[in-house]
Amino acid sequence: MQLVIERGELLKSLSHVTSVVERRTTIPILSNVLLQASGNALRFNATDLEREVIEQTSADVGQDGAITVPAHLLHDIVRKLPDGAQVQIMRDGEHERVTLSSGQSRFALQSLPAEDFPDLAAGEMSHEFSMAAHDLKRLIEKTRFAISTEETRYYLNGIYLHAAGGGEDGAKPTIRAVATDGHRLAHVELDQPEGALGMPGVIIPRKTVHELHRLLEDGGSEVRIGISATKIRFEIGAITLTSKLIDGTFPDYGRVIPQGNDKEMRVSNAEFISAVDRVSTIASERGRAVKLALASDKLTLSVNNPEGGSATEEIDVSYSSEPLEIGFNARYLLDIASQLESDQAIFRLADPGSPTMVQDSDDTSALYVLMPMRV
């Protein structure tokens, strides 16, 4: 194999694929990136066996072939080459050695046989559809903060993506993303893309979610999504991310979304965020409870930390139900409030022991559920 490629092109593709490569792995070839040259194209492939990123870019290929070389090492080398440099990569005769040269620099890298590189992408996709990249990004950004890190509840360690509506009840067909850690739940939906009808509900692992979000940052405008019973594939421009799914059952989240919460509070979201942030300063750790005391058109926020002191703040809200006192984790309140986009937030409450629902005042596509704390 022999090819010449511009340093910038090489660096861009390497930085897309190498982030899935584990720094430490017991299987040596997983530290490597697979490079396949043919025609005028160079294809990069990296995997941690749970997910795989493939990218294709153009290169001046002198001789077709495939090699694998240590991914992070290659990335580090290319990063240090000067801007605009031409990089030649070639396999050194019969030896399992790869030479990289650019200007006066020359590197000899250990290689492992390309035939041994694992292939994750194989398999038929049962459903395929396209979405705007910014739509997919929105589904991720609005929900990922609620993903559980609790290993014993592995089925919550991802975003649950599924098709909803479109049934006989006349509900609008949507694609919906849900994430929860048992204490808060985020639920966002968008118009259903054509082809997503009847797709199986899938749980996309947290690490894949972060990887995908990273690739969407500088990827194309359209994403093609393929789903099978065990895998999901995202094609973003020249990049393909394929990931295994979490093999588990996402809980029936519908039953924890409160339907009959009749106490409604409307509050300026910006004011609410700063007030919660201010009073929670007194809590020694950010996990402490903030007490919300509601009376007629008035909300009193308070934090009491036996070791640090106490804080209270009063803000004007719109509230006309009977007085209510309820406690929430300050951090969770802030996480949710910072997802909201409109000026006004709506809190729908029932009682101090039951879940509260939070929504934007002028957008019902996203909703959040928050379990109170004891105060």
Partner 1 sequence: MPTADVCPRCGDSCVQHRELAGLDIAHVDCDAFYASVEKRDDPTLEDRALIVGHAGGRGVVTTACYLARQSGARSAMPMFKALELCPDAVVMPPDMAKYKQVSNEIRALFLKATDNFEPVSMDEAYLDLRPEHVADNEVAPAVLMARLARDVRAEVGVTVSVGLSYNKFLAKLASDLDKPDGFSVIGRGEAQAFLGPLSISKINGVGAATARRLQAAGIETIGDLRARPEEELMALVGRFGRRLSGYARGEDARDVSTARGSKSISAETTFRVDTGKRAELNVVAARLCERVATQLQRQGVSGGTVVLKLKTHDFKTLTRSRQLPHPTQKADTLHEQVAALIDAVADGRLFRLIGVGVSDIRGSEEADPPDLFS
Binding interface with partner 1 (CB under 8 A): 22-24, 72, 145, 147-152, 180-185, 206-207, 210, 251, 256, 284-289, 306-308, 329, 353, 355, 369, 371-374
CB of 190 to partner 1, least distance (A): 23
Determine if residue 149 is left, alpha or beta; phi over 0 gives left, psi from -120 to 50 gives alpha, anything else beta: alpha
Of 213 and 224, CB closest to partner 1: 213
- Between 71 and 163, name the residue whose CB sits nearer to partner 1: 71
Q: How far is the CB of 221 from partner 1 (least distance, A)?
A: 25
Least spacing, CB of residue 64 vs partner 1, in Å: 33
Coil, strand, or helix at residue 176? strand
- The least CB distance from residue 370 to partner 1, in Å, is 9
**To the nearest whole angstrom, how small is the minimum distance from the Cβ of residue 283 to partner 1?**
10
Burial track 223-252 (b if 16+ CB lie within 10 A, e otherwise): bbbbbbeebbbbbbbbbbbbbbbbeeebbe
CB of 149 or CB of 259, closer to partner 1: 149
- Nearer residue to partner 1 within complex by CB, 193 or 205: 205
**Residue 222 C-beta: closest distance to partner 1, Å:** 26
- Residue 237: φ, ψ to 5°: 55, -125
- DSSP alpha helix (H) spans, 53-172: 71-80, 133-143
Contacts of 256 (CB under 8 A, 6+ apart): 185, 355, 369
User: Who contacts 154 (Cβ-Cβ below 8 Å, separation ≥6)?
Assistant: 246, 248
Q: What tokens appear for 204 in the block?
A: 């996309």
Q: Are 47 and 118 in contact (CB under 8 A)?
A: yes
Q: What are phi and psi of 167, to 5 degrees?
A: -90, -165
For partner 1, which is the closer residue by CB, 103 or 308? Answer: 308
Distances (CA, A) of 359 to 95, 181, 346: 62, 19, 5
Q: How far is the CB of 170 from partner 1 (least distance, A)?
A: 28
**Least distance (Å) between residue 152 CB and partner 1:** 5
Cβ contact 159:178 at 8 Å: yes
The residue among 104 and 149 lying less far from partner 1, judged by its C-beta, is: 149
Structure tokens at 197: 């009808």
Closer to partner 1 by Cβ: residue 181 or 360 = 181
Q: How far apart are CA 334 and CA 283, in angstroms?
A: 14
Which one, 23 or 80, has the nearer CB to partner 1?
23
